[in-house]
Copies of this chain bind each other. A is one copy, B any other.
Amino acid sequence: MMMARNTMRRVAISWQNGLITSIASATRSLHTTKDNHSCKIIMSPPLVSLDLPDIWSSNSNQYDSIPPQKFSNQQIATVIDGKSIAEDIRSSVTSEVRRMKESIGKVPGLAVIVVGQRRDSLIYVRNKIKACEEAGIKSMMTELPDECAEDEVLSALSNFNEDSSIHGILVQLPLPQHLDEGKILNALSLEKDVDGFHPLNMGNLAMRGREPLFIPCTPKGCIELLIRSGVEIIGKNAVVIGKSNIVGLPTSLLLQRHHATVSIVHALTKNPEQITREADIVITAAGVPNLVRGSWLKPGAVVLDVGTFPVDDPSSESGYRLMGDVYYEEAVELVSAITPVPGGVGPMTIAMLLSNTLDSAKRTYDFN
């Protein structure tokens, strides 16, 4: 990811209406296309054709050279310690895995399929495998080359689907472009979809009266952070920034399940600052460093920052550091609680993956 995003590293973010206007014109022209019989009846275009890249427009200022603005409404924010909360959860999972092993002689099993050599993917996968080991969860990994055929991925998936010692499977995203992500995720056994990315899980998350087998890990981690920090969700105004399948969408659905009033801000939103400033709870997953300035935040709001964007940092051991979506120095003076980056939402994702895998094994063995 660091290499691929190199050219974007030294940019700051602003909002250009030009982008919206040009995409709007392109989309409007879709509405008036009448080149087949179907279009004669229904004027709205097929939905996939409306998929637009989530480009958050930027300008050439250096984001790390903007001095933090001072706000008069200062209060001392609680820094939500995701690392510590995640450790508590992982410790509980470890105990439960031990109890399961002692009681029925079984342990949960997680399989990971990773395609290609993306540096960030390999780091994430390595961390997941390591976390499994620490919790006593069995892990298996299939690594496939960047140029592998779709059938090879499907075959690896099929093996794990049938392996009764595996209770969770995750396909590390993103996949190389020549692979059909939708088709591959569809082939994943629903009972082992610990990432919760199958559309049936997503539909069940969205619909009242239904319950998904798994809730996607990052959104679930966010809600857990809110609850453990004593933040009431019901009836609160919540803004989710970003509408990705992995974070933004399921987070907005989950907040609605918890009866928040949810607004979803995205790259084509015209007044994101104004909308976000109305929120009691802000969960941002745009992947744009320093997008959310102090002026976007209502004093006393609670802010969870899912963004992780690597920037060069020679002073760091790894040579880089992670930046969130939120301009932390400005936000921390205004809000009542905030997650840092790193050490906020990030560690919760892995903790929830372990928890989902444990839940799946418990369901399989009817173990409570």
Contacts and interface: CB of A to CB of B under 8 A. Distances in A.
A178 interface: no
Which residue, of A27, A206, A271, has the highest number of chain B Cβ atoms within 10 A?
Answer: A206
25 contacts: A23-B234, A24-B234, A24-B235, A27-B259, A37-B96, A41-B92, A41-B355, A41-B358, A43-B228, A44-B220, A47-B215, A48-B210, A48-B211, A50-B258, A199-B203, A200-B200, A200-B203, A202-B202, A202-B203, A202-B206, A206-B253, A235-B269, A259-B268, A261-B266, A263-B264
Nearest to A274: B278
A28 B232 contact: yes
Contacts of A44: 220, 223-224, 227, 258
Interface of A: 20, 23-24, 27-28, 31, 36-38, 40-44, 46-48, 50-52, 89, 92-93, 96, 99, 181-182, 198-212, 215, 220, 223-224, 227-228, 232, 234-237, 243-245, 249, 253, 256-259, 261-266, 268-272, 275, 278, 355, 358-359, 362, 368
Contacts of A268: 234-235, 259, 261
Given A42-B224, A249-B207, A256 B261 contact: no
> Which 7 pairs between the two chains have the least Cβ-Cβ distance?
A199-B203, A203-B203, A202-B203, A263-B263, A261-B269, A41-B92, A24-B234
Contact of A199 (B42, B47, B210, B235): B210
B93 A47 contact: no
A279 to B, nearest CB: 10
A270 B281 CA distance: 14
Contact of A209 (B92, B181, B224): B181
Contacts of A181: 209
B203 A270 contact: no
A264 B265 contact: no
Contact of A224 (B43, B96, B198, B272): B43
A198 B202 CA distance: 12
A359 to B, nearest CB: 7
A359 B38 contact: yes
Contacts of A36: 368
A202 B209 contact: no
A253 to B, nearest CB: 7
Which residue, of A41, A211, A270, has the highest number of chain B Cβ atoms within 10 A?
Answer: A41
Contact of A47 (B37, B89, B211): B211
A92 B264 contact: no
Given A235-B269, A261-B275, A208 B42 contact: no
Given A27-B259, A208-B244, A263-B262, A355 B42 contact: yes
Given A24-B232, A93-B41, A235-B270, A259 B52 contact: yes
